[in-house]
Structure 1
Amino acid sequence: MNEPRMALVASPTDGAQEAAERLHGLYEWHPIERADLIVALGGDGFMLRTLHNMLDVHRVLPIFGMNLGTVGFLMNEWKPELLELRLLHAKAMTVLPLRMDAVTVSGERFSIPAINEVSLLRETRETAKLEVTVDGRVVLPELVCDGVLVATPAGSTAYNLSAQGPILPLDSSLLALTPISPFRPRRWRGAILPNKTRISFRVLDSAKRAVSAVADQREVRDIESVSISIDRTSPLTLLFDPEHALDDRITMEQFAT
């Protein structure tokens, strides 16, 4: 059996570039167009950008990240030695991205993937007013808030957790619908929904209460409506050392103090 052809990508930070130079001298590398998998050096933000780049060009490869950033939740430990052996024993995790379909007040349409979450955020000092629909049924005629987000299990420990949303096991087939500083309904704290659900938002009084939609790091401003669902046509594969598997890290976040 032939060894997989590896491509190397690195964050522009000094640490990641120095690590990439070291790896170039240790292993054989191939262009992404001819590779079987990608090794990514950087932090979680760089990992998300790499995943988005693959989705943009419709060439999705398994990716093994090594942390040269800050948190590195989606990354493995940086160790240049025995990389090929680590890849051989790596545990594969499948992540299904979201698809955000947004329409702006001016009628422009955008369709953007998101690995962690899609968030709607107020653009002005006025609170946002949103109508929330689940599978075609209006479940909240008016949500008054700073914003709201829909998170995948992979993203449930990111912005979603900071907004007091639930941590979702990676294999749970669930989505978190989490409000950001809700004012009305005052006691509503969000919902956990099957990942087959289609969640839609309509901005109420968009002329006065402008709202933006952000898919991971990509923002669309002055939206009129947004629809969010799982994109099952573009599954992503993350590779982890067995002792640093993403599903276990997500579980242990529930006991973090």
Structure 2
Amino acid sequence: MAIKIAFAASPAPVAQTARAALIGRYGDCPVDEAEVIVALGGDGFMLQTLHNTQDIPAPVYGMNRGTIGFLMNEYRESGLLRRLEQAEEAKINPLYMHATCVDGSTHKALAINEVSLLRAGPQAAKLRISVDGRLRMQELVCDGALVATPAGSTAYNYSAHGPILPIGSDVLALTAMAAFRPRRWRGALLPKTAKVRFDVLEADKRPVMADADSRSVLNVACVEIGSDPLITHRILFDPGHGLEERLISEQFS
């Protein structure tokens, strides 16, 4: 029996061309009827697809029609049904972000890779960090800080010299960006159940923005972050090229 596939593609011409070719070969069905969703684009589009389909039980199989494609499989038009049948599944929980702004407004978002706080002005940010309601750092002077999942640990987190986390680990990475004081502090490893709170000090003088997978909130006063166990994203990879193998390989490249 043929697998019911829904094809989604980024606006890029190369992705749209690939989608048309694949639909011509394998057909297409509505997303809410699909057994598998095939996403064509780069990592950004993969994250967008996972967010858009989080209430749909079908897993997502990505094929790279973008740039880096860390979350994607190699693009090939032929043999797709066999690849889908043999694919390995990785399950990940996103982070939630609850942000309160200086004006009192509140904003919520989910992030598969990371939630980051970034200075939004010429001066460094000043952040107070609490974990599970306990004050852990009175003042961090920095360009920013982030909390990353294992799936997102090779993205912004790794660029900020944070650790790469094994995909099956129940750990989150808290990483500082360009820390000025304490000068050598780069972050901490926290259990997946940890609830992290950042309070922005001198928010009017040193504005800070918060970002959850490219969804930004300006002028935040405090941000609470934690893993959301009630949401599970299912991602499919070709055998031997799953997230666990990619995370290990990245450390030896």
Deviation of residue 61 (structure 1)? 2.6
CA-CA distance at 1:60 after TM superposition? 4.6
* Aligned match of 1:187: 184
In structure 2, what is the equivalent of residue 69 of structure 1? 66
**Deviations along 1:80-131, whole A, 9 cap, x unmatched?**
1111111100000001100001111111111100000000000000110010
Tell me the SS of whatever aligns to 2:62: strand
Is there any run of 5+ residues in structure 2 with no aligned partner, and where? none
For 1:122-201, what aligned pairs fall within 5 Å after superposition?
122-201=119-198
What SS does the corresponding residue of 1:25 show, helix, strand or coil?
helix
The answer for the alignment partner of 1:29 in structure 2 is 28
Give the letter aligned to residue 19 of structure 1.
A
Q: In structure 1, list runs of 5 or more residues that go unmatched.
A: none
Partner of 1:99: 96
**3-state SS in 2 of match to 1:87:** helix
- Structure 2 equivalent of residue 224 of structure 1: 221
Distance, in Å, in 2 between the alignment partners of 1:16 and 1:84 is 19
Q: Is the 8 A contact 1:61 1:236 kept in 2?
A: no
Return the alpha-carbon distance in structure 1 between the equivalents of residues 127 and 188 of structure 2.
16
2:113 equivalent among 109, 116, 123: 116
Deviation string, structure 1 residues 30-68 (Cα, Å, up to 9, x no partner): 01121122001011011011112123xx33530000001
Query: What does residue 4 of structure 1 align with?
Result: 3
Identify the range of structure 1 (23-32 vs 156-165) with the bigger mean alpha-carbon deviation. 23-32
Identity in percent: 51
Q: Among 232, 235, 241, which residue is 2:232 paired with? A: 235
Distance 2:184 2:144 in 1: 15
CA distance in 2 between partners of 1:238 and 1:181 (Å): 32
Alignment partner, residue 50 of structure 1 = 49
Counterpart position of 1:204:
201
| Structure 2 Cα separation of the partners of residues 40 and 60 of structure 1 | 15
What TM-score results when the alignment is normalised by the length of structure 1? 0.96
1:70 counterpart letter in structure 2 = T
1:14 to partner: Cα distance: 1.1
Q: Distance in 2 between matches of 1:122 and 1:37?
A: 40
Q: CA deviation at 1:3?
A: 4.1
Q: CA deviation at 1:28?
A: 2.2
Deviation at 1:11, TM superposition (A): 0.9
Letter in 1 for 2:180: F
Q: Distance in 2 between matches of 1:3 and 1:222?
A: 50
The alignment's TM-score, normalised by the length of structure 2, stands at: 0.98
Letter in 2 for 1:34: E
Mapped partners of 1:227, 1:32: distance in 2:
32
Q: Distance in 1 between matches of 2:57 and 2:200?
A: 34
SS of equivalent residue, structure 2 residue 68: coil
The match for 1:17 is 16
* RMSD over aligned Cα atoms: 1.0
